[in-house]
């Protein structure tokens, strides 16, 4: 992501310096957020702001072909979540879901008495049943699938931070998109 963004900035400087400046500002805010070491948890509102900046930069790279919708119930934005826990889900949708059509990503967040339910749905190319099973299995092995490394890291971080109370479920159909359901206990 970082190298691609730097190349995008390099490309934009002679063509559109103001857009390049905006990307630099967004990138520096994202780096400040991700490198901040005071805590491993953040308010969900901060994490969602990070995601919005991430998608804004990706839209510059991909000619505004990504639409992001966030649907969060009232009060949920004050809940805490592990820092950088949503980014791999959105990155996966962009990296593996895009084709020539606009990609719509919807993040839906709900709160129950004991859990935070985060659903990330895209209308992308989806996965075949065999590939979906491969991705699901790779989450439970010590040997990482290098094509879905972000999901493997997310799953392992969630197990360390929340134990077996954390869940990551993946549903997908070829040419119909992917749905990732991430459940974590309230902290």
The CATH number of the domain holding residue 17 is 3.30.565.10
pLDDT per residue as tens digits for the range 77-86: 999 998 889 9
3-state secondary structure 109-162: EEECCCEEEEEEEECCCCCCHHHHHHHHHHCCCCCCCHHHHHHHHHHHHHHHHH
Whole-model pTM: value is 0.84
Which domain covers residue 113, as residue numbers?
A: 2-185
Query: Given this model, what pLDDT does residue 74 score?
Result: 86
Query: Given this model, what pLDDT does residue 173 score?
Result: 92
* Total tally of structural domains belonging to the chain: 1
Query: Given this model, what pLDDT does residue 139 score?
Result: 82
What's the CA gap between 92 and 105, in Å, rounded? 11
What's the CA gap between 136 and 156, in Å, rounded? 13
**Are 71 and 107 spatial neighbours (Cβ–Cβ below 8 Å)?**
yes
**Are 138 and 91 spatial neighbours (Cβ–Cβ below 8 Å)?**
no
| DSSP element (H, E) containing 163 | none
pLDDT per residue as tens digits for the range 26-63: 888 878 877 776 778 889 999 999 999 999 999 998 99
Query: Given this model, what pLDDT does residue 146 score?
Result: 65
Query: Which residues of the chain carry a pLDDT beneath 70?
Result: 37, 141-148
């Amino acid at each position: 992501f970082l190298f691609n963004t730097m190349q995008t900035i390099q490309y934009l400087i002679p063509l559109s310096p103001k857009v390049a400046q905006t990307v630099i500002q967004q990138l520096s805010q994202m780096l400040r957020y991700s490198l901040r070491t005071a805590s491993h948890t953040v308010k969900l509102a901060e994490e969602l702001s990070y995601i919005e900046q991430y998608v804004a930069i990706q839209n510059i790279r991909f000619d505004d072909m990504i639409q992001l919708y966030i649907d969060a119930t009232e009060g949920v934005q004050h809940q805490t979540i592990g820092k950088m826990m949503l980014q791999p889900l959105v990155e996966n949708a962009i990296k593996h879901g895009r084709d020539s059509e606009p990609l719509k990503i919807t993040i839906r967040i709900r709160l129950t008495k004991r859990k935070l339910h985060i659903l990330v749905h895209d209308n992308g190319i989806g996965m075949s049943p065999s590939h979906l099973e491969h991705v699901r299995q790779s989450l439970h092995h010590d040997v990482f699938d290098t094509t879905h490394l972000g999901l493997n890291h997310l799953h392992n971080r969630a197990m360390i931070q929340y134990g077996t109370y954390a869940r990551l479920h993946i549903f997908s159909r070829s040419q119909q998109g992917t749905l990732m359901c991430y459940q974590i206990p309230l902290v």
